[in-house]
């Protein structure tokens, strides 16, 4: 595709000062190669500052994660903070182990400080939930985490938090987006050097001042500390080259877990994630090295956290000695059941307790919560909406938050943070494992007990990648087609209800007056109560499909899920492939 005049104008801007020499040379090299496809990808659009912030491929250009895009986004955020009327505004910044994470964090700090916003920044990588905690602990108006979570190594991102410690939600998200869009050129950014702001006190390094109270909050979540001390449970842990290695070993040691094997090759930060294909604890191959350690040492469980330590995955030993990777939905069900049952047993389960989950998370968690007389709220995908409910409960006093989770391996047991916390989740699953081992049981046994009590629920997710500008267009076309012509049957099962979260009014709980924000999600409910949910990913170039079923045993449930996938996915996959290759 030939370069348009608009793109050529952007290229001209990016190949002259104040853009730095490395950026200028990189773009000029693409011009000399006549690489119009790559130049179009980099300059045809702006990297979108969405409701969660930025996420994109690390590269120079308007459609990439780079210091210039970070600076402009931060200037927009600074403008919004200053216009909000907060006196003596402060901010805090954390970052993960990815390429340029610290550099992007320092760039953001310099912009905020230069705009008169006192900024705290960790001197080394730290977990995202610790940033969420730090926002409120330090009395900040806003916070930033530089991370692309579990995306491939080519990506980085930028997440924004507000003063309640949660990721930005309405009205702040749309208002910040508007301010960011007003910052059209790099010359609109007000910035003096990081070093000068550090020297004048507008930037301040923080580490132990937040680490210590954050760890104390995590330790306070333990329900049965005596079970840990008398257990000989053997745990393999890996942070998959990410931030979990900075905090989790300290926490586990403090609690008295005495037999922990660390995957040494993955304990240090590595921006290339050299030992895995992708640093995603949802995928078995990211746990392979941990499983090898577990088999060698006879461990009971493998625990893995993603690069920014907000998601946790596990593999557990079955009776045959094989390790089984557990889904995010089932991990959540295990933790939820353990927390609710142990708190009830100790008499500390609140009578007005609430469980908050997302609309694509298993109904098994609803069934568990309701059996303990907990109120269940279903919110949009994204933990920020769970964080929003925590704030709402604190303001109204109507409910007490007990547990929150989402199918994408994110969980939170307390209210000290307002984002999913793999540090706390690691402690919870390790405690549960210790409790069970003291009774001669395993997590496999525990999960089977849950199935026997509530039903054999299972879920499968299918993602179809569609990269680049063309991919985004095709994904939008798929959603448009599904709305224009809804299927009457899926795999021979009648569709009895369609929920369009973009056009319908949907409430977060029965009897609640709170309507969910509009979202590009469609859910099909079938005659056997199975569901199929479709949504474009908000953080990756893909469209996601969530299949959920329940059967009289896991074999029947598995058959139903396979049938649903085979009856729905091939036609859409074929359509996407053909359209992208046109």
Catalytic residue ranges: 149
Torsional sign, CA 433, 436, 441, 446: negative
* Residue 36, H or E segment: helix 36-43
Find the length of the chain: 582
Dihedral in degrees, nearest 10, Cα atoms 502, 508, 513, 514 = -70
Residue reference for tokens 């939600």: 169
Regarding beta strands 53-57 and 118-122, do their DSSP bridges make them parallel or antiparallel, or are they unpaired? Answer: unpaired
Gap between the Cα atoms of 37 and 34, Å rounded: 9
Taking the C-alpha atoms of residue 118 and residue 114, their distance in angstroms, rounded to an integer, is 9
**For residue 171, is the peptide bond before it cis, meaning its omega torsion is within 30 degrees of 0?**
yes
Q: Are 25 and 128 in contact (CB under 8 A)?
A: no
List C-alpha distances in Å: 112 to 71, 183, 246. Answer: 9, 14, 26
SS3 labels along 94-135: EECCCCCHHHHHHHHHHHHHHCCCEEEEECCCCCHHHHHHHH
* Adjacent-strand bridge partners of 118: 90
Instruction: Quote the tokens at residue 264.
Output: 């040494």
For residue 368, give both structure tokens.
């568990």
Question: Distance of CA 315 to CAs 150, 261, 302, 363, 442, Å?
Answer: 18, 14, 5, 22, 12
521 neighbors 478 (Cβ within 8 angstroms): no
Paired tokens of 100: 């340029």
Q: Alpha-carbon Rg of the chain, whole angstroms?
A: 24
Give the three-class secondary structure for 203: strand
SS3 for 211-258 is: HHHHHHHHHCCCCCHHHHHCCCCCEEEECCCCCHHHHHHHHHHHHCCC
Distance, CA of 100 to CA of 65 (rounded, Å): 9
Within 13 A of 281's CA, how many CA atoms are on the CB side?
Answer: 33
Is residue 367 within 8 A of residue 361, CB to CB? The reply is no
Nearest to 308 by CA among 222, 407, 419: 419
Q: Which of 459, 484, 471, 487 is nearest to 545 (CA)?
A: 459
61: left (phi over 0), alpha (psi -120 to 50) or beta: left
């Amino acid at each position: 595709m030939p370069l348009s005049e608009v793109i050529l104008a952007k290229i001209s801007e990016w190949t002259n000062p104040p853009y730095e020499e490395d950026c200028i040379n990189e773009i000029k090299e693409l011009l000399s190669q006549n690489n119009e496809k790559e130049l179009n990808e980099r300059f045809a659009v702006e990297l979108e500052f969405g409701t969660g912030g930025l996420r994109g491929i690390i590269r120079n250009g308007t459609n990439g994660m780079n210091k210039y895009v970070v600076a402009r986004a931060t200037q927009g955020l600074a403008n919004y903070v200053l216009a909000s009327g907060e006196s003596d505004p402060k901010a805090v910044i954390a970052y993960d182990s990815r390429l340029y994470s610290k550099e992007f964090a320092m760039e953001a700090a310099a912009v905020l400080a230069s705009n008169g916003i006192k900024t705290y920044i960790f001197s080394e990588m730290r977990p995202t939930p610790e940033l969420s905690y730090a926002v409120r602990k330090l009395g900040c108006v806003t916070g930033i985490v530089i991370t692309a979570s579990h995306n491939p190594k080519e990506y980085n991102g930028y997440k924004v938090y507000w003063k309640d410690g949660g990721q930005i939600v309405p009205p702040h998200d749309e208002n910040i987006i508007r301010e960011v869009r007003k910052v059209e050129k790099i010359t609109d950014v007000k910035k003096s050097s990081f070093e000068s702001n550090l020297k004048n006190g507008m930037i301040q390094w923080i580490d132990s001042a937040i680490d210590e109270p954050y760890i104390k909050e995590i330790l306070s979540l333990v329900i049965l500390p005596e079970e840990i001390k008398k257990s000989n449970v053997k745990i393999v842990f890996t942070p998959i080259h990410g931030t979990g290695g900075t905090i989790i070993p300290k926490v586990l040691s403090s609690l008295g877990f005495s037999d922990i094997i660390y995957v040494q090759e993955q304990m240090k930060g590595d921006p290339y994630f050299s030992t895995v294909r992708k640093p995603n604890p949802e995928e078995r191959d990211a746990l392979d090295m941990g499983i090898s350690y577990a088999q060698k040492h006879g461990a009971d469980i493998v625990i893995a956290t993603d690069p920014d330590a907000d998601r946790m995955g596990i593999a557990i030993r079955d009776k045959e000695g094989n390790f089984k990777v557990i889904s995010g939905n089932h991990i959540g069900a295990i933790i939820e059941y353990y927390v609710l049952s142990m708190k009830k047993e100790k008499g500390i389960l609140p009578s007005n307790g609430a469980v908050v989950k997302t609309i694509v998370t298993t109904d098994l968690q609803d069934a568990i919560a309701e059996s303990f007389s907990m109120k269940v709220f279903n919110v949009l995908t994204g933990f920020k909406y769970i964080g929003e409910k925590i704030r709402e409960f604190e303001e109204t006093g109507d409910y007490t938050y007990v547990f929150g989770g989402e199918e994408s391996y994110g969980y939170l047991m307390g209210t000290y943070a307002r984002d999913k916390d793999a540090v706390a989740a690691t402690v919870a699953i390790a405690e549960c494992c210790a409790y069970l081992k003291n009774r001669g049981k395993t997590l496999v046994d525990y999960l089977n007990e849950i199935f026997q009590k509530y039903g054999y629920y299972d879920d499968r997710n299918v993602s179809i990648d569609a990269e680049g500008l063309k991919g985004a267009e095709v994904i939008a076309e798929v959603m448009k087609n599904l709305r224009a012509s809804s299927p009457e049957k899926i795999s021979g099962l009648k569709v009895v209800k369609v929920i369009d979260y973009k056009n319908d009014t949907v409430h977060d709980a029965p009897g609640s007056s709170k309507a969910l924000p509009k979202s590009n999600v469609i859910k099909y409910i079938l005659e056997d109560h199975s569901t199929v949910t479709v949504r474009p990913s908000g953080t990756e170039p893909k469209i996601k499909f969530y299949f959920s079923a329940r059967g009289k045993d896991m074999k029947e449930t598995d058959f139903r899920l396979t049938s649903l996938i085979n009856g729905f996915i091939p036609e859409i996959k074929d359509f996407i492939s053909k359209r992208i290759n046109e």
